[in-house]
Amino acid sequence: MDYSRFEEALGYKFKDISLLETAFTHTTYVFENGGEHYESNQRLEFIGDAILDVAVGRILYDMKPMAGEGYLTKMRATAVCEQSFAEVARELELGKYLKLGKGEAQSGGADKASSLADCFESVVAAVYFDGGFDAAFDVVTKNLTETIQKAVNGEIFLDYKSRLLEIAQMKGNQHEITFKILDERGPAHNLEFECAVYADDIFLAKACGHSKKEAEQLCAKAAIARYNDIFNG
């Protein structure tokens, strides 16, 4: 596969392209094609996660020279998350290069936030092993500075469930927010949970996720606008 367009978008040219190929290899692909012949990106993901913590921490350190440890920690947690990494991965069109098992590919795995985020972490690790920490830091700077700036500006809000509960107690509203898991389906390695959320007995929204927590967060995100239309419109 020709990775030149991806490398251009990423901002790094690999010397050892096999590292990038491993970064794009999902566990389901290894499972279906023989583990002895392929290595998944899980080990790279482990290293990438650590590198991103350090790199984003350094960018924040320079960006906010007067900020204390608590603030920097909070901003890093906001920027270093599945949602942020998945958005960057989509901008890089990373899903086009992911090697997935057939079932995972058919179920939309190429655009699954968790798979995209894990792969982005793996790509950062691949850059580190290929070109060292400075190269990896440059890639993180190029691709995540805008996201970090949004975190600093308060434009990223990740805990939609808490935000919905907070809104339900504002402006004189006293509605009880209830989340219900409606369905659990799929194989053990790829479970999907369907969740609905209600304000008292009024249905607000429904969403699916690959964990109960993800389903509830996506459900709450969709419900916020609906809640405001019904009660604060």
Please give the single-letter amino acid code of residue 147: T
**What is the rounded distance in angstroms from the CA atom of residue 113 to the CA atom of residue 80?**
14
The residues carrying an active-site annotation are 49, 121
How distant, in Å, are the alpha carbons of 30, 37, 80, 194 from that of 84? 26, 32, 7, 23
Q: 159-174: buried (b, 16+ CB within 10 Å) or exposed (e) per residue?
A: ebbebbeebbeeeeee
**What is the rounded distance in angstroms from the CA atom of residue 99 to the CA atom of residue 22?**
9
The tokens for 42 are 């899980």
Question: Which residues, other chains included, contact 166 with Cβ-Cβ below 8 Å and sequence gap of 6+?
Answer: none
